[in-house]
A and B are shown apart, each in its own frame.
Chain A
Amino acid sequence: MRIELQKRAGTSTLFSIVSPLLALALTLVAGAIMFWLLGKSPMNALYIYFVEPLLDVWSLHELAVKAAPLILIAVGLSICFRSNNWNIGAEGQFTVGAITGSILPVLNPEWHSPVILPLMLVMGMMGGALYAGIPALLKTRFNTNEILTSLMLVYIAQLFLDWLVRGPWRDPQGYNFPQTKSFQPEAVLPEILDSGRAHLGIVFALVAAVALWFMMRFMLKGFQVSVLGQSERAGRFAGFSATKMVWFSMLLSGGLAGLAGISEVAGSIGHVQPVISPGYGFTAIIVAFLGRLNPLGIIASGFVLALTYLGGEAAQLSLSISDKVSRVFQGLILFFVLSCDTLIHYRIRFVSTPSAEAEAKN
């Protein structure tokens, strides 16, 4: 038996909607098998993993806290990927955004002014954008592959952060913990409700997603993104500049990743420490694809992936399964999403005997 692909005349609207859902269903099946292999009751484990975190008010807040950076980064990445620019260093831009955004509260802990927070957010955004500007510069000026350069910059950013909080930025009264002083109250991102930890970050994420959806749907810039992504040549005939698009998409996604970084530090952590992200920058790649590179779809997929983090923590506590399970789940989701996306563009046929079929055609 053999699998044969037959190109559809257009993209299938039905499968554009069904494919992410099918991918999630397949992930659940694979997850059940994995739990069974680990010697746990699959249904119970899946319940603890994917349902229980949705039942408490506090864990819904945690869900929003974790979804915020994922959505912010992923909507930026979706513009990159749509325009065929492969920024996979969002984790580094997130880190640099957290650093540049924290300069003010770390260096001026006594500055109690309401302007500090907006300044921090702007500086975080600029830091992330500038850091993403490096691979953009290298790609446009030296023709360097942005996948590899943006990824190498992740390691460099993380080492730089590590040096900062162990060296010049370390809180002298911090009992030798490698972290900065806690931010002054004016520098902390306010919570949106009294009932839990969810902070303004999730609002930024939703606003960014809707704004970029509007851009992709109704503005010339969005059209440029799609055309240059599908065919650079066609874009050039229309007078669109591929070089400018590299800059636009990289700076935009870097800026949003930077905003996510400073929001995370100023919102949920409250100080700077060596590790500030459980891999949000990489998980956001999965979020972008699960949302089918559509900013509105990404809102939904951001919450799904945030749930895998929460479920991982819950499973660790009540099933004594390591939290690495959540990374496995995330990898599986991306695999199934990519496989199911084939259904959108192709009809899949199972052919029993290839040679007979070939002869029949001749």
Chain B
Amino acid sequence: MFEAILLTVITASTPLVIAALGELVSERSGVLNLGVEGMMIMGAVAAFATAQLTGSPYLGILGGIIGGGLFSLLFGFLTLTLVANQVATGLALTILGLGLSGQIGEAFVGMPGVRLQPIVIPLLSDIPFFGRVLFSQDLIFYMSVALVFGISWFLFKSRTGLKMRAIGDNHGSAHALGINVVRTRYLAVLFGGACAGLAGAQLSLVYTPQWVENMSAGRGWIALALVVFASWRPLRVLAGGYLFGAVGIGQLHAQLLAQSGGIAIPSQLLSALPYVATIVVLIIISHNRRTTLINTPASLGKPFVPDR
């Protein structure tokens, strides 16, 4: 029983972790992309469509990454080249993504999906308990773990990561030092979009292998909250992602329990828990102004026009 719950928690947490990691990189470079929800749903529909048409869930993953990535370039062009307001453009990306994915997905409604099968790692998967939980997972889970440590290393140990953080903290100084601010930010936004697309692919290939309109159900927004929660640190995204995932799964189990036990807890109350939890967590994290100020990339959301 416990193992089964843990497995569902992992499945529910993985998309949150991946999308939040992508957004973290984008925000570390100083770009606030509120379009995570839109990029995620575009990734989900692209992944589902690719998997349906080719029959391969792995090409589906690729489709999701490309779908989310291409969609994020639209955001990049507006905010980085045309210096449009990042908050408004992010909202536009979400609105357009939800509409466009509904339009594209129309043809796929009700089709049985192609499920991504787990990859059982020999030997390691034989470890009692942990083996089955951690080493008999699908490719996207392994990718999420690799991303956490990869991004951690990239941001804090590599030269390019240092430059990216410098841009995020003060784009004027970084520009004066000869770092190409706009190009780096394009790459960061693209990476964020690809991650959101991958997270979307997880939704339509693993979590519920089918296409349902609006199937991201606010997860993109929760991922955004997760970045704040994690104070822009990858390892904390991992921890936070699992906390949020556990709340989501916990309320599902509570609903089942209440039903079987005949206890009248309104299902709506339990469904609202993840959103309430997000607000509570944001309050706890943000209430100390000073630490928030230190952790937030100083150029976050500010427009940058290179002076020549």
Residues of A participating in the B interface, judged by any CB pair closer than 8 Å: 3-5, 7, 81, 86, 88, 138, 142-145, 147-149, 151-153, 155-156, 159-160, 162-163, 167, 282, 285-286, 289, 322, 324-332, 334-335, 338-339, 341-342, 346, 358, 361
Contacts and interface: CB of A to CB of B under 8 A. Distances in A.
A174 B266 CA distance: 21
Nearest to B98: A327
Given A86-B87, A138-B279, A334 B95 contact: yes
B272 interface: yes
Given A138-B279, A338-B89, A155 B99 contact: no
B100 A152 contact: no
A334 B91 contact: yes
A151 B221 contact: yes
A59 to B, nearest CB: 22
B111 interface: no
Contacts of A167: 266
A134 to B, nearest CB: 8
B91 to A, nearest CB: 6
B228 interface: yes
Contacts, number: 137
10 contacts: A4-B308, A148-B221, A156-B272, A159-B269, A282-B95, A324-B103, A330-B99, A334-B92, A334-B96, A335-B92
Interface of B: 34, 74, 78, 81-85, 87-89, 91-92, 95-100, 102-103, 106, 213, 218, 221, 224-225, 228, 266, 268-269, 271-272, 275-276, 278-279, 282-283, 286-289, 292, 305, 308
B45 to A, nearest CB: 12
Contact of B95 (A3, A330, A339): A330
Contacts of B89: 335, 338
A349 B83 CA distance: 14
B272 A324 contact: no
A309 B286 CA distance: 39
Contacts of B74: 335
B275 A325 contact: no
Most buried by B among A286, A324, A325: A324
Contact of A342 (B83, B97, B103): B83
A119 to B, nearest CB: 27
B271 A361 contact: no
Contacts of B82: 3, 5, 338-339, 342
Contacts of A162: 268
Nearest to A283: B95
Contacts of A159: 268-269, 271-272
A304 B98 CA distance: 20
Given A152-B275, A322-B102, A338-B89, A331 B97 contact: yes
A142 B282 CA distance: 9
B34 A327 contact: no
A149 B282 contact: yes
Contact of B225 (A138, A148, A341): A148
B73 to A, nearest CB: 13
B97 A156 contact: no
Given A143-B292, A334-B95, A338-B89, A328 B100 contact: yes
A324 B308 contact: no
A325 B103 contact: yes
A148 B281 CA distance: 11
A338 B269 CA distance: 38
B99 A144 contact: no
Most buried by B among A325, A327, A361: A327
A338 B106 CA distance: 28
Most buried by A among B74, B218, B228, B282: B282
B95 A145 contact: no
Given A144-B282, A331-B97, A5 B84 contact: no
Nearest to B87: A86
A149 B277 CA distance: 11
Contact of A324 (B102, B271, B282): B102
Contacts of B85: 338
Contacts of A358: 308
Contacts of A138: 279, 282-283
Contacts of B308: 4, 358, 361
B224 A148 contact: yes
Nearest to B213: A324
Nearest to B225: A148
B282 A163 contact: no
Given A7-B305, A152-B278, A289-B88, A327 B102 contact: yes
Given A153-B275, A331-B97, 7 more contacts: A155-B272, A328-B100, A331-B92, A334-B91, A335-B96, A339-B82, A346-B305
A156 B103 contact: no
Given A147-B34, A285-B91, A155 B275 contact: yes
B255 to A, nearest CB: 13
B297 to A, nearest CB: 14
Ordered nearest first, which 8 A-B pairs have the shortest CB separation?
A331-B96, A327-B99, A324-B102, A163-B268, A334-B92, A328-B99, A159-B268, A338-B84
Contacts of A332: 96
A331 B282 contact: no
Contacts of B84: 338-339, 341-342
Given A7-B305, A163-B268, A167-B266, A145 B228 contact: yes
Contact of B278 (A4, A148, A338): A148
Nearest to A162: B268
B223 to A, nearest CB: 11
A143 B103 CA distance: 38
Contact of A143 (B34, B91, B289): B289
A149 B88 contact: no
Most buried by A among B85, B92, B272, B275: B92
